Amino acid sequence: MAKKKPAAASVAVDSHKHVADRRPNIPTRETAAFSDDGVGRAVYERDRSLDPQLVWKGKDEQDARPLEVPAVPLHVQEKIHPQAIVEDLKRRAAAPRPAADVQLDLFADFNGLDDFAKKLEFYQHDQHWTNRLILGDSLLVMASLAEKERLRGQVQCIFFDPPYGIKFGSNWQVSTRKRDVKDAKAEDLTRQPEQIRAFRDTWQLGIHSYLTYMRDRLTAARSLLTDSGSIFVQIGDENVHLIRSLMDEIFGSENFCALITFKKTSSASSEILSGVSDYLLWYAKTHDQVKMRSLYALKNLSDSTDGSYDCIESPDAKSWRRMRSTEKSDVASIPPGWRVFMAGAITSSRPPGSFPVQYEGKTYVPSSGYWKTGEAGFKQLVNAKRLVNVNGNLRYRRYFNDFPVSPINNLWTDTTTGTYTEAKVYVVQTNTKVVERCILMTTDPGDLVIDPTCGSGTTAHVAEQWGRRWITIDTSRVALALARTRLMAARFPYYLLADSPEGRKKQAELTGAPSDPNGPALRRDIHKGFVYRTVPHVTLKSIANNPDIKEGMTREQIDQAIARHADTETLYDQPYEDKNVVRLTGPFTVESLSPHRSLPIAPADDEPAAPEPASAPVANPSFGQMILDNLSTAGVKGTDKAQRITLARLDPFPGEYIHAEGETDAGAAVRVCIGPEFGTLGDADIKKAALEAIKGSRCDLLLVCAFAFEASVHEQTAELTKEIKFGKLAILPVRMNPDLAMGDELLKKTGAGNLFTVFGEPDVKLTAADGKLTVEIRGVDVFDPGTGAVRTGDVDDIACWFLDTDYDGQSFFVRHAYFLYGGKDTKEGPYDKLKKALRAEIDEGEWSKLYSAVSQPFPVPTTGKIAVKVINHFGDEVLKVYTVPPAR
């Protein structure tokens, strides 16, 4: 009879909190109306004295003035605490108290600002640190962080994985479902609502635009670094020479640290010579102050490139010989008890002396230079049996195990990615080991790491694992959707904090010294690091100065004496782990340069009204003309490929709120209102544009184009359409692709593209029973710009959806999270690793409920409102607020 498998041990769930760190409070989407903090300017001076430097088209004109970047406010879109979601599952499985209670506990102190007035005094008060996932152009975001949030000189490490510039062709991912994309393939080009800016290199001026793009972002990145900080730029062989020259210009060649070559694949085809590596350019803010933590790899004699370990010594240390070739290739063939060593030099070019040394009846003097130690030190080396005569020369016996590891260098051959290494979810996903080494080499726990090109969130994932704070940025909704999911479902080892009872106990166990009960109070401050493994580092100096080695000692006694006084090296990549704790991602926020949801929220009666605009929506004439040029070429796209409004004519119009007039190919009269270059378009703007559109001439369709809309725009447009009696005016809010914010200098005119897109809203069914509510997602209602009809799609296109079951109108907290791809019957579910770790606490049935279009029942909210956010596999988001009778 087979033995019954023992039940899995119960484990706790926890996450790291950066209790000693703070961040300025910034507006949420809901409280943005209270912010009167406008757009500032981040100014970066040019330094043309740094010759030699690269020259490219347009650079001289750029150098004539400083780099000025708008410092646009950031707005919080979501507040996520993955531990709350998992604790909710645990409570449902055990059911000792209502599942909502634990979520209220975790979310209650998310910001650490109890005073409502302080919450609205943006940038004036500091709140709890939370990590950050930001949608927006990295240049604008870094300028905002520097100017508005005072992060200049606060960042310890930046990992920048920019577009490589490969052939300047399109290579970008359009969906969370499809990682493999083909250059210029139609199905990979058409998507909604925006194309991925970070990995599309089809810019108007080719390499010239690329270098401008890189210089601006590297300049902004440098200003964020602390004096001991580092930046790593991952780049391919196409442009590594150009980017190094560019970084010499920006950081100064004296701050170059290393060019690291790492292997990216096991094989690659080429007509000439296969390329299997990429490169890391490592620069310091200030070379003399750079923070450096040495990393080590375990030495392996068979794989060792150092052929100097070619001798073996008998167990009694009385004889030795050279290793045979078979022993070098097969370590197992070395006779038992024999020790491998190298006959190392014992002389140097510096004193202390050149005295004669007596050893085994012979006298030795240095053939050149000086002995590495003095006469007393030589006596200890003789007593320790560490000298050897090699062809009449005195040498030092350095055993292979004196230092069982070797420092890593600038050639990394163990970073190959492939089918059997790590799963990739993004087309240009960075190798985890590469990012890990960069962060571990140059930061300590609690330090801040920034990634201007988020991708699938590898840098954030690695930073979270190793206890670093992180901010990651991307222009792609697909990238952020993948990163958000990856972080929400991640499981990490729980490393012992040095500033914790468990860590102090482990330190005492390792050192043999009892812990001091009267020592400093323990606060679990992550800045004090983890409890790390160490390795002995036996050196000639430590043996020469060892007071415990005596003449006549046995080999075992000598080894023990050497071990007591040997130096040690810290293995920063090997902290001790508590396997009884499952660690999840700590609290983080999803943010944007402006509210970026596809569907605004209808405000409740107590929500603030939008401020009256001081001027017409568009203030920059060149920006307005660029928008009209692209709108005339691209038209307006619906959800499906076949849905598109094409324009037969579009001419500028000298109105205050109407900026163009024309007609569609179908003959409908069109007016166009263009929103602000930065920020949102509000109800008041749309109402004035609608009234202006119908004055004096026929207007069938008003296209209101903006990067973002205020909360009640959809409802406002519907009401305006009913109110206006002159003709059959339809008002259509149109989301503009953020690529348009880059301007014509960087945006290549590719003809028709998804630069202007319309969206719908979620089709939600709300059910009340037994004092609880259930939400069902039935699809997304989408507007067909060709027919003007609204149709309901199904759930197949939905990647995930979130619920705030107690929406307070101030912040969107992700209290429930459901994923509709991967599913419970596949191996692609994001919670697979957590499921295995928590199998004793949460059964399969509870996990399966996270892959559903129907929510778990939840109590009626005290606020009387819930919020539903739906994200499709293109990364597009729609959100809607529902009012329900409040709990009594």
pLDDT in tens, 789-846: 555 667 877 888 999 999 988 888 999 999 886 444 445 577 777 777 776 667 777 8
pLDDT of residue 11: 72
Which pLDDT tens digit goes with each residue over 774-793? Answer: 999 988 765 554 555 555 66
> 31-35, 156-160, 197-201, 634-638: which range is least confident on average?
197-201
pLDDT of residue 640: 58
pLDDT of residue 557: 94
DSSP label of 620: -
Share of the chain above pLDDT 70, in %: 75
In which residue are the tokens 């593209």 written? 753
> 181-190, 239-248, 692-701, 853-862: which range is least confident on average?
181-190
More confident residue, 157 or 819: 157
> 69-78, 251-260, 350-359, 737-746: which range is least confident on average?
737-746
Q: Is the pLDDT of residue 200 over 50?
A: no
Q: Residue 680 — very low, low, confident or very high, per pLDDT cuts 50/70/90?
A: low
More confident residue, 657 or 450: 450
Query: What is the CATH code for 761-883?
Result: 2.60.40
More confident residue, 181 or 328: 328
Q: Residue 566 — very low, low, confident or very high, per pLDDT cuts 50/70/90?
A: very high
- Positive or negative: CA dihedral 720, 725, 728, 729: negative
pLDDT of residue 112: 65
User: CA 63, CA 276: separation in Å to the nearest integer?
Assistant: 37
Q: How far is CA 882 from CA 100, 773, 790, 806, in A?
A: 19, 12, 20, 11
| Residue ranges matching CATH 2.60.40 in the chain | 761-883
Q: Is the pLDDT of residue 265 over 90?
A: no
Q: Residue 885 — very low, low, confident or very high, per pLDDT cuts 50/70/90?
A: confident
List, in sequence order, the alpha helices (H) in 336-475: 375-383, 432-442, 458-465
User: CA 281, CA 248: separation in Å to the nearest integer?
Assistant: 10
In which residue are the tokens 């024309």 written? 662
- Name the pTM for this structure: 0.81
> 150-159, 319-328, 452-461, 816-825: which range is least confident on average?
816-825
* 3-state DSSP helix/strand/coil % of the chain, to nearest 5: 25, 25, 50
| Average pLDDT rounded to a whole number, residues 707-714 | 60
Fold of the domain built from segment(s) 611-754: Trna Endonuclease; Chain: A, domain 1 (3.40.1350)
- Ranges 134-148, 616-630, 789-803, most confident: 134-148
Mean pLDDT of the chain: 80
193: preceding bond cis by omega (within 30 degrees): yes
Q: Is the pLDDT of residue 241 over 90?
A: yes
Give buried/exposed letters for 646-685 (b at 16+ CB in 10 A, else e): bbeebeebebebbbbbbbbeeebbbbbbbbbbbbbbbbbb
Residues 6 or more apart whose CB falls under 8 angstroms from that of 305 comprise none
pLDDT of residue 169: 42
Q: In the structure encoding, which two tokens stand for residue 268, read together?
A: 């690659």
User: CA 283, CA 374: separation in Å to the nearest integer?
Assistant: 40
Q: Is the pLDDT of residue 288 over 90?
A: yes
Helix or strand run (H / E) with residue 157: strand 155-160
600: preceding bond cis by omega (within 30 degrees): no
| Residue ranges matching CATH 3.40.50.150 in the chain | 33-71+131-296+410-492
Which pLDDT tens digit goes with each residue over 490-532? Answer: 999 999 999 999 999 999 999 887 777 777 888 999 999 999 9
Query: What is the CATH code for 33-71+131-296+410-492?
Result: 3.40.50.150
DSSP label of 255: G
pLDDT of residue 616: 41
